[in-house]
Structure 1
Amino acid sequence: MPQFPPIVFAIAFATVVVAVTAIARRLPVPTPILQVLAGFALGLVPGVAIPAIDADLVFFVFLPPVLWAAAFFTSLRDFSANRRPIALLAIGLVLATSAAVAIAARMLFPGMSWPVAVALGAIVSPPDAVAAAAIVSRLPVPRRVVVILEGESLVNDASALILYRSAVAAAVTGAFSWGESVVRFFLDAGVGVLVGILVAWLVLRILRWSHDAMAETLLTLAAPYVAWLAAESLHVSAVLSCVAGGVYLRRHFSSAVAPMSRLNNRSVWDLVVFVLNAAIFLLLGVQFRALLAAVPAGTMLSLLRDGVLIALVAIVVRLLWVPIATALPGLVSRRARRNEPKPTKRGVFLVAWTSMRGIVSLATALALPPVLASGAPFPYRGEIIVITVSVILVTLVVQGLTLAPIIRAFRFAPETSHHLEARTARLEASRRGAEVLDDLSREEWVDERDVEWLRNELRDRIRLLEHHAGEPEGRRRLRGAMLRAERRMLVRLRNEGAISDDVLRELEQELDLEAVRVGVGEER
């Protein structure tokens, strides 16, 4: 079999990612599903060696930055306002799904012990954050639904992994204590959160000392791995460590670094998360073919059937749990009825239906120890891996393909709260800037002509923000057309030799920043 240098694999990976992403823009198929199919097709190419996936590689390389980025870009205010539904999904639903799957597994495999069955339940219980975000983020979904789904994805992996470790320890050693497991759950979660906050605090101290945008961006890339390693060395929740670190860093990041550092940080992180997400789903597709090929032909159909049944159990439990968990707080608590907004039926169903499984479930299944403490093989390990693959495939295909049509059919009303908050914030910031300008105008070094020029600019900005006529979408389209015309003129001037490439780059950056500000940053 021919051996290729790593650069060839990197080029092939980039080519596949670009091609699949471009195709997904033109097809009514979510990008993650196309990436999984592309990975599966790569696994069928003759002569292509399929590397065995290492669970530690997935947990350490992929999960820390993805979790950190998700937490970093999460609104703490919205997360806190929806902490009750998030907790009911991320903790309550994980436990309910694990219990239901364990019961179903015991019925399908009578010889399976309860610890092994619970381990299987913990493996397939947490939905995949990446798959859901890749589909939901590009569609008109109510903000509260997005917040709940993103909040659930930040916590559910932690609760599932803690339950998984307890179940696997019980299966390996034959000893289990409910009291010890409950205490361990809260201890792992609490210490993990503290570790993440400590790492983020240290990062902030270094950021305030540093004055180099590139070095600061590199530091933020290293932070999730430091938080993960620190938590793992203490045997506490590394997932919650990354989540807490990302949230804490975001709360203080704006005052710790310069504007150029923030711009660089956002661009680099967007690229890193994009590449990692693409690698995750391609790796899933490649591994599906390899894992299924290792199953004896005589047992393949029966195991796939069992996997479909387990997937249906997980889907049905969520469909039942979400409406009950939504209605129950309002029935038992007057405060919940008064403070929490009443959810719509369409929003409740959308949350209940969004439960695709992904790379975390597969990595957790592959992380099962091969042998018990007695030296005997871990019972049903091969069956659990195949069932996990089946659950991932069923949820990705059935729910992933139907999620976008369902969202379009629901026709959620456009939300204006975000635009109203942004306009109010811009008004307040502009007025504060005007106050500072007035204060500085008395300084000896200030030229009155500069003050007057800036006052006129602020006055025009405030007047535009207070302007209520017309539609924001119409103004956005008009401004986008204007910016494209200005950019074409700059290119023409460069081509005619009237301006240099340096001037073009400088002015083009100004236009690009303005395009991003008005919401046309992805239009050409």
Structure 2
Amino acid sequence: MNGVQLLLVIVGAIAVTGLAQRRGLQPALVITVVGFAASFIPGFTRLELDSEIILGVVLPPLLYSAALQFSFGSFVRNLRPILGLGVGLVVVTALVVGVFSAWVVPALSLGAALVLGAIVAPPDAVTAVAIGRKLGLPKRVMSILTGESLVNDAAALTLFSITVAAVAGTHTFLENPLLLFGYGSVVGIAVGLVLAVVAVAIRRLLKDSGLETVLGLIVPFAAYLLAEQFEASGVLAVVAAGFAVGTSSARTGYETRLQERQVWSSLDVLLEAFVFAYMGLQLRFVIQDISDAGDSVWAVFGLGALVLLVVLFIRPIWVFVSFGRNFLTDKIMRRTIASDERLRERMRVANEHRVARGRKPKQYPVFLNWRESLVVSWTGMRGVVTLAAAAGVPLVLANGDPFPGRAEIQAIAFIVAVGTLLVQGLTLPLLIRSLGLSDPEQDEYDLAQSAHAREVARAASAGVFAEFLRSPPADMPAEVLERIAERVARQSDEAERAPGPGEGPGAEFGALYRRVLHAQRVAVVRERDADRLDDDAAREFLERLDYQEAAIVSQLGDRL
């Protein structure tokens, strides 16, 4: 495909995204369908991208952006279900699909069928998270889905490498799959963290929002490529770097944070639109490949539909088996706690010590209820990793023979990807609305955390005011001094309200206001780092402070 066609695809995908959003439709679904129809335009040639381009160019920024905005605290709190879905379910899906495909697809040996299983194993949470955010899914459900998407790609790509090497007769870095996954995970995370430390240190020296943003754009690609050089997981390197840079972002300048939010948001839209357009445009040529291989298109599509059904059912079974096990464990633990007075006392004393040290009390783990589990079980849409892995199936084996069932593997993988997107993507909003999901406890907790952030900021402001009143600028009249302190105090209490034009006596007002914002930011970050404030509440409050500071600098910049 030439550059003009690629540009037209990108522009068209963005235009369709805008139209779909304006009509209240799901952009991913509309783009896929439009892409499929567009592939039949006379003269339209196949969009051929190497799998390494998709994995090395499209995937890193999407993962990095998600990790930047995701709370590491939420990731740790939900680590058990995240690993269960992101690793356990991926392995089970690959094995079940592999065994089933070897049974029903004549062209696939067991090894080739396991390659197919690894390809279709990882869900892509892009569509599910977008729908959930729009319809107000509970925060813990969103955290689990986002966390799963940050982990499952690494597990699936490791399985893909192992199965392809076994079929093709090539060798992986380590022959033992557990050692390979362990090495890839540990070294990948280490590479991401080291690179993040270096990037953060360089950003503090730059002192320029444009340069800092450009450096941030380089980080995910550098993390992925560097980890791949060590034959480790580039996916986990990108995720680790995103977590580390995101945690330290509160200490960078407000201009950089505001700029990066817009840049990453725009890049996400661009890449997601391109991925789904690529998926739709490939379908026609996948059908053509089946015909060229001498297979019946309808037979392969029928087999693909069977594999799709297996994929659709594995996730609900896994989720509800986990739900049942957690429910029983929860019941047993509650009965044990209720009947064991010493255990209750130990938990009470431990929480009192945590509160005395200014930390949040530990609560008994609360698992997803059946409604939330039902939603999680229906969020298995496939996306970019499935497409990239399918394109990455080698043409020949190590001995020069054709890779067995390559056309069938790619066709079934695309059928599963598009099928999950259409079936689950179309019905998920209806499911969420019909269940009427809401979490009053979570809403109350969020309000309490927001109030706590305001209290912390208010206390920080008081310290700045006291210092200002103790040593005010020389020759400043008392009434002006009082008016400045009053106006800054009022505006610092109203986090959404920026100063109005002409408020305050110019430079003195602006300088004091910025000192207040800085003190509030430092206090909120300190409270978050001490585990006394929820990370999400801290992020929301810090974002409002950034907009306030941008407003005051915009109005009084020349005098500051």
State the shift of 1:50 in Å.
2.5
Q: Secondary structure at the match of 1:22?
A: helix
- Aligned pairs, how many? 472
State the shift of 1:334 in Å.
8.3
State the shift of 1:261 in Å.
1.1
Give the TM-score, by structure 1 length.
0.83
Label 1:300 to 1:43 Cα distance change in 2 as closer, same or farther (>3 A): same
Q: Which deviations, in whole Å up to 9, do the C-alpha atoms of 1:94-128 show, x marking residues without a partner?
A: 11111110110111135633332221111101001
Corresponding residue for 1:187? 183
State the shift of 1:292 in Å.
1.7
Q: Which deviations, in whole Å up to 9, do the C-alpha atoms of 1:181-218 show, x marking residues without a partner?
A: 11111110110000011111111010110111111001
Label 1:261 to 1:56 Cα distance change in 2 as closer, same or farther (>3 A): same
Mapped partners of 1:37, 1:450: distance in 2: 64
Q: Which amino acid aligns with 1:138?
A: K
Pairing 1:394–2:419 present: yes
Q: Which amino acid aligns with 1:225?
A: F
Mapped partners of 2:178, 2:108: distance in 1: 24
Matches of residues 351-362 of structure 1 in structure 2 within 5 Å? 351-362=376-387
2:94–2:117 CA contact under 8 A, matched in 1:
yes
Pairing 1:10–2:3 present: no
The one of 269, 279, 288 aligned to 1:284: 279
Q: Which amino acid aligns with 1:452?
A: E
The one of 261, 265, 268 aligned to 1:266: 261
1:195–1:227 CA contact under 8 A, matched in 2:
yes
The one of 87, 96, 111 aligned to 1:91: 87
Corresponding residue for 1:421? 449
Pairing 1:311–2:316 present: no
The one of 216, 221, 240 aligned to 1:220: 216
Mapped partners of 2:2, 2:48: distance in 1: 17
Pairing 1:300–2:297 present: yes
Q: CA RMSD in A?
A: 3.0
1:31–1:134 CA contact under 8 A, matched in 2:
no
**Structure 2 residues without counterparts, runs of 5 or longer:** 335-362, 502-543, 552-560
Label 1:170 to 1:458 Cα distance change in 2 as closer, same or farther (>3 A): same
Label 1:454 to 1:284 Cα distance change in 2 as closer, same or farther (>3 A): farther
1:430–1:458 CA contact under 8 A, matched in 2:
no
The one of 239, 248, 253 aligned to 1:252: 248
1:427–1:462 CA contact under 8 A, matched in 2:
no
Q: Which amino acid aligns with 2:309?
A: L
Mapped partners of 1:87, 1:146: distance in 2: 15
Mapped partners of 2:307, 2:243: distance in 1: 34
Q: Which amino acid aligns with 2:162?
A: S
Corresponding residue for 1:76? 72
Q: Secondary structure at the match of 1:126?
A: coil
Mapped partners of 1:177, 1:456: distance in 2: 66
Label 1:208 to 1:464 Cα distance change in 2 as closer, same or farther (>3 A): closer
Pairing 1:26–2:54 present: no
Corresponding residue for 1:452? 482
Corresponding residue for 1:231? 227
2:289–2:407 CA contact under 8 A, matched in 1:
no
State the shift of 1:451 in Å.
4.7
Mapped partners of 1:407, 1:60: distance in 2: 34
Label 1:145 to 1:454 Cα distance change in 2 as closer, same or farther (>3 A): farther
Q: Which deviations, in whole Å up to 9, do the C-alpha atoms of 1:328-350 show, x marking residues without a partner?
A: 24545789867311322110000
Q: Which amino acid aligns with 2:183?
A: L
Q: Which deviations, in whole Å up to 9, do the C-alpha atoms of 1:372-419 show, x marking residues without a partner?
A: 111111111110000001101210111000001111111122652334
Q: Secondary structure at the match of 2:93?
A: helix
State the shift of 1:89 in Å.
0.4
2:107–2:404 CA contact under 8 A, matched in 1:
no
Q: Secondary structure at the match of 2:264?
A: helix
Q: Which deviations, in whole Å up to 9, do the C-alpha atoms of 1:448-495 show, x marking residues without a partner?
A: 556533432354357768xxxxxxxxxx9xx9xx99xx99xxxxxxxx
Corresponding residue for 1:343? 368
Pairing 1:408–2:405 present: no
User: Identity, % of aligned pairs?
Assistant: 32
Q: Which amino acid aligns with 1:388?
A: A
Mapped partners of 2:238, 2:481: distance in 1: 46
Q: Secondary structure at the match of 2:39?
A: helix
2:125–2:379 CA contact under 8 A, matched in 1:
no
Q: Secondary structure at the match of 1:138?
A: helix
Label 1:107 to 1:178 Cα distance change in 2 as closer, same or farther (>3 A): farther
Corresponding residue for 1:62? 58
Mapped partners of 1:121, 1:94: distance in 2: 9
Corresponding residue for 1:495? none
Mapped partners of 1:217, 1:177: distance in 2: 35
Mapped partners of 2:409, 2:9: distance in 1: 32
Q: Secondary structure at the match of 2:290?
A: coil
Give the TM-score, by structure 2 length.
0.78
